[in-house]
């Protein structure tokens, strides 16, 4: 069933806020695992939640970045940090919660980054690049703050999963597919590709 047509800026805003909360939750959960205090949990959640979008906005010249213009981004990050701090025991019941949250955030931000780049007039290849940077930026900053090697460098199907989503968004823009359905499909593809790669142990072929 086709969903009602929605304007790209509205879709982009909702994707951004969802991605901000989910990535913030992943950062907050990682902080709890590292036994940081409440302030540390909030800091790591905010860094994970907002870094990708800030990198995107700087790269495409949308200044000041959305996180500095719209208070809802910081509220979403704060809510994610508090949720992780207060409800971490329940969240931990999920199988690999940080990975799962990271996969959802990866998919959502890959889509929102690509869509915004296209709205700013970038070509398909550049829009895909911005989408990937948006998707992986928060995770990279989160991992570096707790002295972990970023997942993009140690887990093969990570940026590749984000690339799949960006390609769907670019194709949808090129062929005039319904914007909302395309966004949902692209985000789901990236998320499922990432989760499947972890569950099945999939890796990119390496030279012998």
| Residue 2 domain-assigned (yes or no) | no
| Residue 68 domain-assigned (yes or no) | yes
Determine the structural domain holding residue 147 and report its residue range: 8-200
The count of domains in the chain is 1
- Whether pLDDT at 6 is above 60: no
State the pLDDT confidence band at 190, using cuts at 50, 70 and 90: very high
Give the pLDDT score at 28: 97
Give the pLDDT score at 7: 66
**What is the mean pLDDT of the segment spanning 115-119?**
96
| Residue 63 domain-assigned (yes or no) | yes
State the pLDDT confidence band at 5, using cuts at 50, 70 and 90: very low
| Residue 3 domain-assigned (yes or no) | no
| Residue 136 domain-assigned (yes or no) | yes
- Whether pLDDT at 1 is above 50: no
- Distance (Å, whole) CA 80 – CA 23: 8
- Whether pLDDT at 141 is above 50: yes
Mean residue pLDDT across the chain? 93
């Amino acid at each position: 069933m086709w969903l009602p047509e929605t304007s790209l800026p509205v879709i982009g805003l909702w994707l951004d806020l969802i991605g901000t909360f989910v990535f913030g939750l992943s950062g907050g959960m990682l902080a709890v695992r590292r036994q940081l205090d409440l302030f540390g949990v909030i800091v790591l959640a905010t860094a994970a939640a907002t870094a990708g979008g800030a990198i995107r906005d700087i790269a495409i010249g949308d200044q000041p970045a959305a996180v500095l213009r719209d208070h809802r981004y910081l509220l979403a990050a704060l809510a994610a940090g508090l949720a992780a701090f207060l409800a971490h025991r329940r969240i931990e019941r999920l199988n690999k919660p940080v990975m799962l949250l990271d996969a959802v955030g990866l998919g959502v931000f890959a889509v929102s980054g690509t869509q915004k780049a296209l709205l700013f007039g970038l070509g398909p290849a550049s829009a895909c690049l911005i989408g990937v940077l948006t998707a992986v930026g928060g995770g990279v900053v989160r991992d570096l703050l707790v002295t972990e090697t970023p997942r993009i460098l140690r887990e093969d199907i990570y940026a590749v999963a984000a690339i799949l989503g960006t390609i769907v968004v670019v194709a949808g823009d090129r062929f005039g597919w319904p914007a909302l359905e395309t966004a949902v499909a692209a985000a789901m593809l990236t998320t499922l590709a990432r989760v499947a790669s972890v569950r099945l142990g999939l890796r990119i072929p390496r030279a012998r």
